[in-house]
Amino acid sequence: MYAEQIALKTCTYLEYASEKLQSLVDICGMKHKTPEIMEVFKQMTLPWGNNIIKDEPLWLSGIADDHTPFEFSVAIDSDTPELRILCECQRESFNLLSNWRAGMKFNYWLMDNYGASLTRLNQVSDLFFPEDESAHFAMWHGVCFLPDKKSEFKIYLNPQAQGKEQASDLIKEAFKRLGLKESWSSVEAVLQEQDASKNELKYFSLDLSDKPEARVKIYWCHHDITTDELEKMYSVARN
């Protein structure tokens, strides 16, 4: 985004992003949901979205390669496309603590306006409070829009919030609090058979929903992994 901005007129993050987002809304056949989608994105980007885009980002976000703190995508696995937004809430002074606070404020907006469930988040949030300055992010949010269904929200937290070396223990405790101790044990058994340095815990995700099918997800970065090792990792899944 920043390289492209040099050739554009001066505008705010919100103005720039809204133009791109509107194009995707139209292409996905969701013009009728334009007010909702734009309002959600506006809330995700408060208050930093009103800042003028300059040569350097306000915060070195890890969402995009050039540190743009939002990403739009479209998932197509049926006749109906799904429009997705991934965004990192921020506020001055643009650090882990201030961004955490901005993210928590957005959580309560989602609860008040969409009935998002924060029950599971509240059970584990203290574990992911950013205490290690080397952590690259505090909290991200994802939203999924479909033409004829209610919007769905999820949150991404940082397993390395208390330091990279604490990530595994942190996730283990999170699963325990969520009543998923056995699920973690299955994953841990596979991990113990491999070189620990190859598997880096990167993200922990919760659907902000109280539905029975609401998901808990963990993401790894597999460094220099072999096909056999990767196949072993996949064996944990039921499908």
Residue 187: what pLDDT?
85
Please report which confidence band the pLDDT of residue 209 belongs to, taking 50, 70 and 90 as the band edges.
Answer: very high
Contact (CB, 8 A) for 128 and 157: yes
Q: Which residue has the higher pLDDT, 109 or 230?
A: 109
What lies within 8 Å, CB to CB, of 183 at 6+ separation is 175, 216
Alpha carbon distance 192, 61 (integer Å): 32
Our CA angle for 100, 102, 104, nearest 5°, is 70
Contact (CB, 8 A) for 143 and 84: yes
pLDDT in tens, 213-222: 999 999 989 8
Residue at token pair 């201030």: 98
Alpha carbon distance 237, 196 (integer Å): 20
Residue 83 parent element (H or E):
strand 82-87
Q: Is the pLDDT of residue 4 over 70?
A: no
Q: Residues in the chain, how many?
A: 239
Give 4's Cβ-side CA count (13 Å radius): 8
Residue at token pair 């223990």: 169
Q: Position 158: which residue type?
A: N
Q: Enter the DSSP assignment of 31.
A: G
* Closest residue by Cα to residue 19 from 65, 72, 57: 72
Alpha carbon distance 99, 194 (integer Å): 35
pLDDT in tens, 7-46: 456 899 999 999 999 999 999 999 999 999 999 999 999 9
Alpha carbon distance 144, 35 (integer Å): 15
- The whole-model pTM stands at 0.92
pLDDT in tens, 49-67: 999 998 888 899 999 999 9
Alpha carbon distance 160, 166 (integer Å): 7
Measured over the CA atoms of residue 43, residue 21, residue 143 and residue 67, the dihedral's sign is negative
